[in-house]
Structure formats: structure tokens, C-alpha cells
A and B are shown apart, each in its own frame.
Chain A
Amino acid sequence: MQHGLEFDVAHLLAGSLVLASFMMLYQDRLYALLNVYALHAVVLALSVAWQAFVQDAPHLYVTALIALVFKAIIIPVSLHRIIVRLGIHREIETAVGVGLTMMAGIGLVALSMVVMLRVTPGADALAREDLAFALSVVLLGLLIMVTRRNAVSQVVGFMSLENGLVLAATGAKGMPLVVEISVAFSVLIAFIVIGIFLFRIRERFDSVDVQALDRFRGERR
């Protein structure tokens, strides 16, 4: 019975993370996207905390705390401010329509289920499901990065992808260096966010639209 509960809660949280990724796919406003990302991070924090409790691994609480404080609060708030300060367009320009993106997302989730569940018959059920969900989140994150033209929403896509990786790392029972890796990732993300601001992409270009950046490319003139 106890085992059943452990499994169900972990399953529920990991599934919610995939759901939150789907919610990001159809947002067309930057602020809304940031709010969904904050939700994504909160779900991740809960999921990691649950793993810490189930696996009796107190160091994972550190990772959960990083997810909660850094990813769910600091990053969305500072991105919010950057959007205001740099006056970035608040609508998200998509490269592909929402309907098509959602279909592609469903396809990617199906793909990751097929791949991961097939190659891990030996592993325990919890780790298997976690891994399959994590791969879905990673692929959905990639999809967000591909279908968005705006630099900020690409960064959000990358951060959701990274959440998927943290889910995978904490799901792999007893994996060493998880905390270190999540810290390394947080540093990477902080760099990206600071990069948007410090490189003053807004000051140099008319938009943070990657297509606009392409025009400046060395040889296209």
C-alpha cells in the first residue's frame, strides 16, 4: 500500500510537469508564459522534494529548494523586469501554428513513452515512468525553442527543458552529483538571463527576435 502511494504521487507530479509543458506550448503572451514557467518550476520542486522523501535522500531537498526559490521566483521575476526595462514586445511570435505545435507535442510525448518504456524493462517502475516523463519534458522544451522566434521565450523553453533533466536526475535513484549538476545548471541559466540584460540585446537590436539577429550575420548582405 505504502509503495502504491509513493508511486502514485511521484507519477502525478511528473505527469503534471508534462502537462505544464503543454500549457507553455499555447501561450501567446510573454507574461503568461513566465507565469506558466513559474508553475512548472513549482511542480518540479514538489516532485524533487517527494523524491527526496521517498528515497530518504536529504541532499535532494537542496535541489528542490533551488527549484522553488531560484526557478519559480527569482528567474520569472527578473525576466519580467527585463521585459519591462527593455520594452520587449509582449506578444510571442510563433513560427508554427498552435494547433500544429500541440499535435507535434503529443507526437513527441508518445515517442518518448515508446522509446523509454521499451528500453528500460529491467529498471524499477518509478524510475522508468520518471525517465519517460522527463524525456517528454525535454522534447517539449526543444519544441518550444524551435517554434518560438522571440529570444526570451526560447530561454523559457530551454529552462523547461532543463527542468526535465533535473526530473530525470532525481528520478535515477542514488545518482551522485545531482545537487552539483542542478547548481551548475542554475549558473548556466543565470548567465543566460544576465546575458540578455548585460549584452543589452534590446539596445543593440530593434527586437530580441532571433530573426532580426540573423540579419546581422557576417555574410548575408
Chain B
Amino acid sequence: MTVDALAAILLIPAVAAAILALMPDYRITALLNVVAALLTFVTALSLFVVEPVSGQYLLVDDLNKVFVVLTTFVGFTTSVFSASYIGHEIETGRLTPAFVRFYHAMYQTLMFAMNVALVANNIGLMWVAVEVATLTTVLMVGIYRTHEALEAAWKYFILGSVGIALALFGTILVYMAARPVIGEGLDAMVWSVLVTRASEFDPALLNVAFVFLLLGYGTKVGLAPLHAWLPDAHAEGPTPISAVLSGLLLNVALYALLRFKMILAVSVGTIAPGPLMVVMGLISVIFASLMLYRRRDIKRMFAYSSIEHMGIIVFAFGMGGPLANFAGLLHMSMHSLTKSAIFFAVGHIAQVKGTQKIGEISGLTVTNPLLGWGLMLGVVAIVGLPPLGIFMSEFLVVSSTFARAPWLAVILVLGILIALGGLLMRINGVMFGAPEGASKPTEASYMPMFTHLALVLMAGVYLPSALVAGFQNVARLLG
């Protein structure tokens, strides 16, 4: 049997993780980490050229191609950022080489788990993959072993485990619903089989299952009121992990939710999953935007901004329909790129200034112009100002909602505006206040940050028609 691209995107990170666990020198492992991530990304791109055959365990369709390419791309750029970030952490002695070795192995394990979750055709396998992804991130969040890091990791552990447990109960219920129709055994857990036969399933059982799945995977998406782990985990872990958490892992959990939403959409007698998602999305947007005002820690602030944006995305998918789904997909991609770029900037800034406290960072545009303006551009993008990509996707979400449910759109716009005010108010002093603190030049890697921002800017000005067609196709699939 030849190894096709599908197997390769799983094998490359798995093998890399094993090799990285054995290599002692951090410079080589950092480089290897980058190479492995790049290889995975290139292989993921090849999925568009030759579509591999899907089986009972793995599946490639238009929906998860988008997710896989986004995940592997951000995974690659983050590994580049991570290399320079980790180098600095070793110099300052915050991490020892042994921990870095562990960190790199975990990084590739995380990429492996996320890729498995995205291409899994079996809902049980998908669940296991999300669990593994959670475990690896828990370990990485606690890697500094300070009071705060341990507390964050512990909280993430417990809340994440409960979420995962609820998701498993939902998965079991889906199997119970499918068994009388499809029969016992593996087929009743295969997503592509489930989605074709879902109309015959018992709707009541599917309803209960979806509630559990929404609560379970929703915890991992970071929807309010299940978000408590998210700000701590983002603030206390190494910054590359904050970038991967916000940019990728939240998307993976959302993807799992979308797969189940598609099953429910086929079934006739079930409740519409849309309104549930719309309500949770709106609560998250409003709640997170209000929370932005009193933040003192810069990474924690952007973590709340992630909750807000996941809220918008879940809202868009909850509204459903080709236009809202298209907007949701676009917003998800734009958010991943922008938020990870912001974390790249914040990571270097925190290293230069030696603090994450907003009050202690001031006048960045003077002391570190390149980092400062990079972060400023990222913030302008994330609050949704034109002409960047997020403006366009938010505009699409809002305008498509106005046509169908004006009141919901009003609430959404209110949330977005509150967030805009909060972020700009907080970031103003950081950027333009009286210069303060260290201004020593850094060996920052600007490439990942500016690549992401350039992509976001480009998407805001002009979206290639091939991309639009692809997203429209996926949006139709999502129903």
C-alpha cells in the first residue's frame, strides 16, 4: 500500500514527535519542528490536487480540507515563531533544555491530534483525538510550573475533562440513535454513513445527544458560560501555545460540533440546532466584550477577544444558510490568522519588556516600532476596522443577519462595538503612551506575524475567486 497524502499528514507529525522526543539539542529540534510543520502543510495543500480515498476511519471532503489547510498553515508559521521565542526563553532561563525537548515533542503530538480530529470519519476516533489534543495542551500550559501556570493547567484539566466527558456521552447517544437503523458495529459510528441515514434516526434521542455535544465540545470552543478555563490557559502558557489554542484548537472543537450539526440537519423531527448556537454565540460575544474593559494582563485580554470571536463564528453557523455559513467560515479563517499574529507580537513584546501587565508596557511604537506597529495593525484588524479581512467577514455576518432577524443583528453589532471600544482603549496606552521600560532590540522573527497580517489585509481588499467558490461550496454543504 502506498502512503497517500491523507496518511502523510498524520504520519509526519507522529514520526516527528517521536524523533523530537529523542533529540537533546534545542536548536536542532526547533529547526526540525519547523521542517516537520512545513512538510505537513505542503502535504495538506496536495489534498486539493489529488483527493485521497476516504475509509471507515478517515475522511476527506471539501469541509475538512479547509480546516486542515488552515491548521497546518498556522501550525507551520507558529513553529517558526516558536523557534525564536523558545531560544529567548532558554537564554533567560525560564525553560530548561529538557523542558524544551518535551515541548517540541508535545507540539508535534498536538498537530497530530488536531489533524486526526479533522480527518476522522469515526465519531469515536474524533472524540479520542480531541481528548489527546486537550491533554497535550494542558501539559504545555503548565510548562513554566509557576503558581499561575499550574493553576491555569489544573483548571483547564478539570473543565476540559468534564467537557470531554459530556461530549462522549453525546457520542454514545448518537450511536444509540443510529444502532436500530444501521445495525450494530462500526458502521453506526461512521460519520459519512450516519449523515446519509440520519433521517431515520429517533429524533428525541438525537436532540438529547446534541445538547450534550454542544455543552461538551462547546466547553472546548470556549463559549460562555463554559469558558472559564480559556483566559487562564492563554495567559499562563508559552505564547506559541496561546497562538495555537486560539487560532486552531478552538476551531477543531467547533468543527466537531459542525459535523454533528450536519447530522441533525438531515433528521426531520429534531429541534433546530441553530437557535441554541445563536444564543450561546450572542452570550459569548456580549459577555467577552464587556470583560475586555477591566483586563490588566495583555494575553488575558486577547483571550477574551478570542471568546468574543468564537461567539461571532458560532452565531454565524447557528444562523445557517449559504451566506451566513460563508461569512462564518471566512471569519474563522481571518480570526485564526489575525489572532495568532497578535499573539506572535505579544509574545515578543512580553519578552522584551519582561512583563505581561498592560500598565507596565507603554509607548511601544517608540521603543520597538516594528513590533508595536505590527501589534497595532493586528488590533486594528481584530476589532473589525476596514479594509482588513475581519471587517469584511463581520460585515457579511451582520448584513446577512439583518435581512433575516434584525434584532439579533442589533445585539451582535452592539457586542462588536463594545469590544472595539474596550480593545482600543486598552491598547492606546500600550502603543502611544510615554515610552517606558526596556527598548533593547530583539531577535524577533517578524516573518510569521507579517505574513499573517498581509494575508488578512489581502483578504480584506480582494478575495481570489477560487477561494470564494471553494468557501461557497463548503457553506452549501453545511446547510
CA distance A213 to B232 in the complex (A): 12
Would B207 and A119 count as touching, CB distance under 8 A?
A: yes
Chain A interface size band reads 35 or more
* One of A2-10, A100-108, A158-166 contacting the partner: A158-166
* One of A39-47, A71-79, A87-95, A170-178 contacting the partner: A170-178
Of A169, A201, A210, A217, most B-chain CB atoms within 10 Å: A217
Judge if B124 is at the interface, Cβ distance under 8 Å.
yes
Separation in Å of the B3 CB from the closest CB of chain A?
A: 23
Would B127 and A175 count as touching, CB distance under 8 A?
A: no
CA distance A208 to B404 in the complex (A): 51
Choice from B135, B166, B172, B208 contacting A119 with Cβ under 8 Å: B208
Q: What residue of chain A has the Cβ atom nearest to residue B204's Cβ? A: A119
Separation in Å of the B125 CB from the closest CB of chain A?
A: 7
Judge if B122 is at the interface, Cβ distance under 8 Å.
yes
Separation in Å of the B341 CB from the closest CB of chain A?
A: 23
Residues of B within 8 A of A218 (CB): 148, 232, 235-236, 296-297, 300
CA distance A158 to B172 in the complex (A): 18
Residues of B within 8 A of A134 (CB): 169
* One of B45-53, B156-164, B259-267, B280-288 contacting the partner: B156-164
CA distance A116 to B125 in the complex (A): 25
* One of A12-20, A27-35, A60-68, A184-192 contacting the partner: A184-192
**Interface secondary structure of A, over-half rule:** helix
Judge if A204 is at the interface, Cβ distance under 8 Å.
yes
CA distance A127 to B178 in the complex (A): 14
Separation in Å of the A35 CB from the closest CB of chain B?
A: 23
Separation in Å of the A134 CB from the closest CB of chain B?
A: 8
Q: What residue of chain A has the Cβ atom nearest to residue B139's Cβ? A: A191
Which residues 92-139 of A have a CB within 8 angstroms of B?
115-116, 118-120, 122-123, 127, 131, 134-135, 138
Would A213 and B128 count as touching, CB distance under 8 A?
A: no
Q: What residue of chain A has the Cβ atom nearest to residue B236's Cβ? A: A218
Q: What residue of chain B has the Cβ atom nearest to residue A154's Cβ? A: B158
* One of B180-188, B242-250, B380-388, B416-424 contacting the partner: B180-188
Residues of A within 8 A of B232 (CB): 217-218
Q: What residue of chain A has the Cβ atom nearest to residue B128's Cβ? A: A184
Judge if A168 is at the interface, Cβ distance under 8 Å.
yes
Would B151 and A213 count as touching, CB distance under 8 A?
A: yes
Of B132, B148, B179, most A-chain CB atoms within 10 Å: B179
CA distance A188 to B132 in the complex (A): 9
Choice from B138, B172, B204 contacting A175 with Cβ under 8 Å: B172
Judge if A53 is at the interface, Cβ distance under 8 Å.
no
Judge if B205 is at the interface, Cβ distance under 8 Å.
yes
Residues of B within 8 A of A169 (CB): 168, 172
Residues of A within 8 A of B128 (CB): 177, 180-181, 184
CA distance A123 to B180 in the complex (A): 8
Judge if B153 is at the interface, Cβ distance under 8 Å.
yes
Task: Given the known inter-chain contacts A177-B125, A218-B232, A219-B297, please indicate yes or no for A120 contacting B153, CB distance below 8 A.
Answer: no
CA distance A210 to B150 in the complex (A): 11
Q: What residue of chain A has the Cβ atom nearest to residue B295's Cβ? A: A219
Separation in Å of the B193 CB from the closest CB of chain A?
A: 12
Residues of B within 8 A of A145 (CB): 158, 162
Would B127 and A181 count as touching, CB distance under 8 A?
A: yes
Residues of B within 8 A of A165 (CB): 165, 168-169, 172
Q: What residue of chain A has the Cβ atom nearest to residue B161's Cβ? A: A158
Residues of B within 8 A of A191 (CB): 135, 138
Judge if B371 is at the interface, Cβ distance under 8 Å.
no
Would B124 and A176 count as touching, CB distance under 8 A?
A: yes
Task: Given the known inter-chain contacts A145-B158, A188-B161, please indicate yes or no for A173 contacting B179, CB distance below 8 A.
Answer: yes
Judge if A142 is at the interface, Cβ distance under 8 Å.
yes
Residues of A within 8 A of B150 (CB): 199, 201, 204-205, 213
Residues of B within 8 A of A214 (CB): 151
Would A120 and B205 count as touching, CB distance under 8 A?
A: yes
Judge if A195 is at the interface, Cβ distance under 8 Å.
yes
Choice from B185, B189, B296 contacting A219 with Cβ under 8 Å: B296
Q: Pick 27 A–B contacts, CB within 8 A, sort by A.
A: A119-B202, A119-B208, A120-B204, A120-B205, A158-B158, A165-B165, A172-B172, A173-B184, A174-B188, A175-B188, A176-B124, A177-B124, A177-B125, A184-B132, A187-B135, A192-B157, A192-B161, A199-B145, A213-B150, A213-B154, A214-B151, A216-B147, A216-B148, A217-B232, A218-B148, A218-B235, A219-B300
Tell me the A residues contacting B by CB distance below 8 Å: 115-116, 118-120, 122-123, 127, 131, 134-135, 138, 142, 145, 151, 154, 158, 161-162, 165, 168-169, 172-177, 180-181, 184, 187-188, 191-192, 195, 199, 201, 204-205, 210, 213-214, 216-219
Knowing that A169-B172, A199-B145 touch, tell me 13 more A-B residue pairs with CB under 8 angstroms.
A116-B208, A123-B176, A138-B165, A145-B158, A161-B162, A165-B169, A165-B172, A172-B179, A177-B122, A184-B132, A188-B161, A191-B138, A195-B142
